[in-house]
Structure formats: structure tokens, C-alpha cells
Amino acid sequence: MQKNTQSDKSSLFSGFSPQDSLQIDRAMAIIAQIPDDPHYHRPKGYEVAAILMDFNVDLKTILAAILSDPRLSQLNPQPNIKEQFGETVAALVKDVNWLNKLSVYSLEMTDQPNQTEILRRMLLSMIQDVRAVLIKLAYRLKRLRSLPKESYEVRRFIAQETLDIYAPIANRMGINQLKWELEDMAFRYLKPQSYRHIAKSLTDNRVQRENCINSFITLLKETLAEEGISAEIYGRPKHIYSIWKKMQRKQLDIDELYDLLAVRVIVDNLTSCYTVLGIVHSLWQTIPKEFDDYIANPKENGYQSLHTVILDPEGNRIEVQIRTREMHDFAELGVAAHWSYKEGGKHNAAIEKSIASLRKLLEEKNYDEALGENFRNELFSDRVYVLTPAGKLIDLVKGSTPLDFAYAIHSEIGHRCRGAKINGRIVPLTYNLKSGEQVEILTAKEGGPNHNWIDPNLGYLKSSNAISKVKSWFKNQQQTQNIAAGKAILDKEIQRLGIKSPNLPELAKYFKQQDTDKLFEALGRSDINPRQLAGFFKIPELEQEPETRIITSPRKKTAAKSLVSVDGIDNVLTSFASCCTPVQGDDIIGYISHKKGITVHRKNCENILSLGPEKQARLITVSWGSEKVSHAVPIVIQAFNASNVLGDITQILAQAKIHISNMMMNTHPDFSTVINLTIQVENTDQLSQVLSKLSCVSNVVEVKRKT
């Protein structure tokens, strides 16, 4: 009996070649091993695959739909899908299973259009193969069909999630048949009385509507044939949910809606569009206010068609759309599928272009892998979607860091951010976020941002909005705090440079400040940075003028001073960690090792962040001493046309008196090049300056410090 039943189920997928049918039978045989449970009401894989047969999908989509059956997890051992059906089917199954288990949505999102849109984009961005989305939509349709067996709470949740997330995705993909059924079934569960009222009204008047449409089509076909115009004419069905939405929007009852009757006319060329329009207007009375020429004046998304409304002899209003085949294909497969308009979204040409690619994919029997990858790259190349611990979705620019996330939540969270966890694991603040990750920000009770955060070469912030907030924080500090901070910065710089009795009035004048307090305030706000101060003290002209000369004294170098102080004490045995190569100016921390004394790391070093509780006890506070030293820092340069760019790079480094201690260059067939350099610098200011200069070299794509 089981065998016959299995054979009946396999017959649902007729139309495939004998070889393909054997693979389907193998997949069905795996599903047949699942114990039968009369209380299981959720979608089964073969039922979902049967729905997809109406969409002319390929074999791999059918196999993935069957094998993503949630009950498959009951089997022990688990079947090796990749080994039996290939890598593509296994990847599809993985994506569908992830979509079926996703639990980000909440009913509160219904009143938060931005959250639902971010969730829709996140779902699409994290799927490796667009066919997985189609399979998920079929799963959702089957789920809706079985909802009467579920509780009221489950019915309400599934139906609302469908309207908020999955029906718009189906609409965005241009799968109208799925979209309409998803919307109508979800609406039926959410507002059963309204659904029954509209359905009854449509049933009561169905014969009248059909007669009305048929009469219109017959007369128009005869007239066009007499004029020698070839045309495809058919009635367009109206669906219950779309009717209800229009009733709500226009505050009308169903009997007052005029466009329940609709006809589409498709002709061969542009001239025929206007000829047919003239014929329609000559045969029937028109409603002038309801005429729109979207051919002469296309919609923002490129949609073109003629729209008019006529009155037939019985007084019925019929909406008529007239377009060429090319316009129709563009509307159905191209960028003008009405999804931006109907969902109230903002026009985005890149997204619409990608949707056109997606629809073509779904129509091709032989799936184009390159086109599928192109869809994902075009649509989601510039965004990343992450979650807060409470489940709120945040949309960020690609390349964003935990700091960008913190500032997107709230400026104060960003200012007080001192660390971050991704999916429960501590990461550096320069970590590049990935879609779907949950981000938790670790904050201090007090404090503000670090000056390094706004240095573009250090990689702390990507968002221009976040960078602006950090700069504003420095500018908006209280005057006394800025003055105190500025004094400290100046004291530190003159101590570092070995300057005695600097001429502060001359310094203020040089930087166009009214007085020394304004100078300190500008320093505290970071309007003037330490590098600019160093530049002032080294100006030769000032050294030659007795009245304005900055008096300096020789640096005293003794063996008693060390590069790093440990808890304020010099002469402690220290060494620099090769894993993060700290440079003077970096935030640093010491680790008490067994053989090397104190090993100095950058505070955001991954090895430090990943220490266990026992080893964290061996961390100790360290700070930079006053001695100058050259630090070896690895940097990476991505460029094109290496033969030209290498000379420019070495020239800049030579002019800056930066020594290259190591260089390795890899050139690829497309003429792109990765250059790994180890350069000797004194501090982070010098490093930042040289990285900025290198980034301006022609044909250089990116320059960054290697972490």
C-alpha cells in the first residue's frame, strides 16, 4: 500500500525525462522513510513541489522542494543530499530550511513599514540561490491552505506575516499568481467578514460581469478585425484583497467601485495603441478624468500603457489598458512591475533592474547560475542587515562596523561604545558586519569617542552619519573641557618633540585663533591635530627669526628610559607582539608572558579579545614612554597597472623618509595587483599621513593597515 501511494505521489511530477524522473523517485523514497504522523498538519515537501510544477521550474528546484521537508530531521542517519543529488540541490535545501526556521518577524512590525522592508531585503540578501525564495513562497502558500486546523493565534500570526513579508516578495519577483493567492488567503484569515462580503458580492454578480466583459471583447475584436489590426484581448480578474484595499483607500463600498471590470489589449506597435484607443472612444462613452497616457508620460519606474475607462450601454464601467507586446513584456518582466508603487516603496533603479533578472531566471528551464549571482550582487552589494539583541533590524551600508551600528541605534550608545559582541562572541570595533548577525554593544557608564574613530585609515567607521556624530561630539564639548583637553594635547606634543618654552601667542596666531584659550579649545575639539602642531614646530623660517624662534633642547637618550611604561614604571622588560604590530599612538595593553616579560599588544588585537577569563587576569596597563622609535608596520595596497603605480608608491615613501623593510607583490591576469609592504614609522600620526598620501596615488584602489 505504501508503494502504491508513493507511486501516486511521484506521478505528480510527470513531464520530466526518464532520467530526471529517477532522481525524483529517489528523493520521494527518502521522504517515504519518514514515519507517518496523523497530527502533522504543516507542509510536506512533495506537496510544495507539486505547487511549483505550475511555474515550469527546473529539476533541481523540484528536488530541493521535496528534500527540504521539515520532517526530514526525524531520520537517523540523515541522508547525504550533496552526495546523492549534488551541491546545488544541497545548497538550495539549506537556504529553504533556514527560511522555514527564521523567526525574526513579530506582529509589531505591521506598524513599522521600515522594519518589514529591511526584513524582506535581509531575507533576499542572505539567500545564495533565488530559487530558494520561490520554494519558500510555495511552502507559505501550502501553510496557508492548512491554517484552518491551527489555533486563532497561529492563523493571525501566519496571515499577517504573509501580508507583511511574503506577498510583497512575490510581488517584487513578479510571480502574480502566487502573490494574489497569498494575499487573498491571508486576508481571509485576518478579516473573515470583509472577505465573505466581497466574495459574495463577486459571486452574485459573476455572470453579469462575465457577460459584460464578453460583449465588450466581442465588439472590439470584430471592429479591430475590420480595421486590419491584430490584437490580443482578455479580461483581467480582480482579486479580493486588492478590491478591499481600494475600498479602504477610496472609502467606497464594493458596489461603488467602477474598475471591477477590466480588459487588457495588446497590439503589435505604438501606432496601433493610439488607433485602438480612438476606436474604443468612438464605440463607447468615455470618462475623461479617468484617462492616462503613460506612453507619452511614463511612470517614474518606466511603466508604459494607455489607460481609459468607458461606460457600456448598461452603464457598467470598464477599465481598458492598451499597450504593445514590448511594453507588456517590460511591465511583466522588466523594472515596472508596480511593486514600488503598490508597496509605497521608494524608486530604486538598481533594485528594479535586478528584479528583471530574477524574473527571467524563474522563467528559464535551464537555470543561469551566472545570472543568479548577478542578481544578488546588483541588489545587495551596498547594504548589510543586522539585528539588535531585542530583534530589531538595522539597515547599514556595506562595510559597516559595530561602531556604525552603535551610532545607528543612538548617538549616546556610539559615544560610550567600548566593545561589541557578534552572536555572543567579542570582536574588534573594526570588524566588518555581515547580514543576519546579532550585534550587542558594550558601553561604559561615562566617556566619549576616541579621536582614532574618525581616521579613515584605521577602519573604525564607515557611515558618514556616524563620522559626523563623532566630529560633532568633539566640537560640542563644553569650553572648559576642550581647553583642558587642548592643554593636555599640547603638553604631550611639546614633551614628545622636546620643545622648551613654546611661543603660545605666535602659535595661536599661526593657527588663526584669537588667543591661547581659543587655541586650546581648537585642539580639544580636534580642529587642530598633533601632526599640524609638529609641522609648526619644525618650520625653518621660525627657527631663523630670533623674536619668534621656538627654543628647543637636544633629546637626552639614556638606557634608563624604555619605549613603554608599565603602570608608570620604566625599565621593565617589554616586547612588541608581532600579531598586531602596535605603533606609538595606538591604544595598547600589556600581557604578562612567561618568557618575554610584558608583551605589548594593541587593545583591539583579536588575540587579546579572545583571551579566556584565566588569561585575562594577566593583562596589565601599559603606556607609551617618551622615547622615539621606528616601528615595523605591515600595510596592504590594492591597485591596477602595477608597473606604473609601484614607482609612485616608492617615491612617496622616499619623500616621507619612510623605510621599506619588506615588499611582496602579486599581479593577477586582470592586471589587478596586491602589494604587501612592511614600512618603518614612528607613530600612528605618521602612519595615517603616509596612508592618506598613498591612497591618492593614481590606480590605487585601497590602502590599509594590515591587521
CATH label of the domain that carries residue 415? 3.10.20.30
Does 589 map to a domain? yes
pLDDT cut 70: percent of the chain above it:
81
pLDDT of 368 strictly over 90: no
Closest CA to 21 of 6, 32, 11, 31: 11
Quick one: 411 and 492 in the same domain? no
CA–CA separation, 243 and 506 (whole Å): 77
CA–CA separation, 387 and 391 (whole Å): 5
Q: What is the pLDDT of residue 371?
A: 43
Tell me the average pLDDT across 336-357.
41
- Highest-pLDDT range among 240-254, 408-422, 579-593: 408-422
Higher pLDDT, 267 or 586: 267
Does 96 map to a domain? yes
Complete DSSP assignment for 40-76: --S--HHHHHHHHGGGT--HHHHHHHHHT-GGGGG-S
pLDDT of 1 strictly over 50: no
Quick one: 72 and 124 in the same domain? yes
Quick one: 487 and 580 in the same domain? no
Tell me the average pLDDT across 648-658.
83
| Domain final position from 288, 319, 343 | 343
Quick one: 78 and 13 in the same domain? yes
Tell me the average pLDDT across 533-545.
52
Quick one: 22 and 145 in the same domain? yes
- Highest-pLDDT range among 74-83, 267-276, 292-301: 267-276
Q: pLDDT class for 239, splitting at 50, 70, 90?
A: confident
- Confirm if 48 and 90 have CB atoms less than 8 A apart: no
Higher pLDDT, 367 or 590: 590
Quick one: 105 and 173 in the same domain? yes
The CATH number of the domain where 644 resides is what? 3.30.70.260
Handedness of CA 45, 48, 53, 57 (dihedral sign): negative
pLDDT of 224 strictly over 90: yes
The CATH number of the domain where 217 resides is what? 3.30.460.10
Q: What is the pLDDT of residue 339?
A: 30
Does 222 map to a domain? yes
Q: What is the pLDDT of residue 89?
A: 92
Quick one: 212 and 307 in the same domain? yes
Q: What is the pLDDT of residue 475?
A: 72
Q: What is the pTM of this model?
A: 0.54
pLDDT of 346 strictly over 50: no
- What grid cell was written down for 511? 593657527
Tell me the average pLDDT across 628-654.
79
Quick one: 54 and 114 in the same domain? yes
| Domain final position from 161, 190, 219 | 190
Beta bridge partners of 631: 681
Does 356 map to a domain? no
- Burial class from Cβ neighbours inside 10 Å (0-12, 13-18, 19+) for residue 558 reads exposed
Quick one: 508 and 415 in the same domain? no
Q: pLDDT class for 183, splitting at 50, 70, 90?
A: very high
Higher pLDDT, 501 or 278: 278
Quick one: 292 and 406 in the same domain? no
pLDDT of 556 strictly over 70: no
Q: pLDDT class for 578, splitting at 50, 70, 90?
A: confident
Quick one: 470 and 483 in the same domain? no
The CATH number of the domain where 83 resides is what? 1.10.3210.10
pLDDT of 563 strictly over 90: no
Measured in whole angstroms, how far is the alpha carbon of residue 577 from the centre of its chain?
Answer: 36
Mean pLDDT, the chain, whole residue set: 79
Q: What is the pLDDT of residue 174?
A: 61
| Domain final position from 475, 510, 535 | 475
Number of domains in the chain: 6
Q: What is the pLDDT of residue 370?
A: 47
pLDDT cut 90: percent of the chain above it:
19
Tell me the average pLDDT across 319-344.
59
Q: Report the range of poorest mean pLDDT among 20-34, 56-70, 135-149, 238-252.
A: 238-252
Does 358 map to a domain? no
Tell me the average pLDDT across 519-547.
63
Does 555 map to a domain? no
Does 368 map to a domain? no
Q: What is the pLDDT of residue 571?
A: 62
**Residue holding cell 590605487?**
700
pLDDT of 337 strictly over 50: no
Task: Return the C-alpha torsion angle 271, 276, 278, 279, nearest 10.
Answer: 140
Which residues span the domain enclosing 697?
631-705
Q: Report the range of poorest mean pLDDT among 211-225, 320-334, 685-699.
A: 320-334
CA–CA separation, 688 and 2 (whole Å): 72
Quick one: 406 and 260 in the same domain? no
CA–CA separation, 614 and 290 (whole Å): 76
Does 69 map to a domain? yes
549: DSSP letter: P
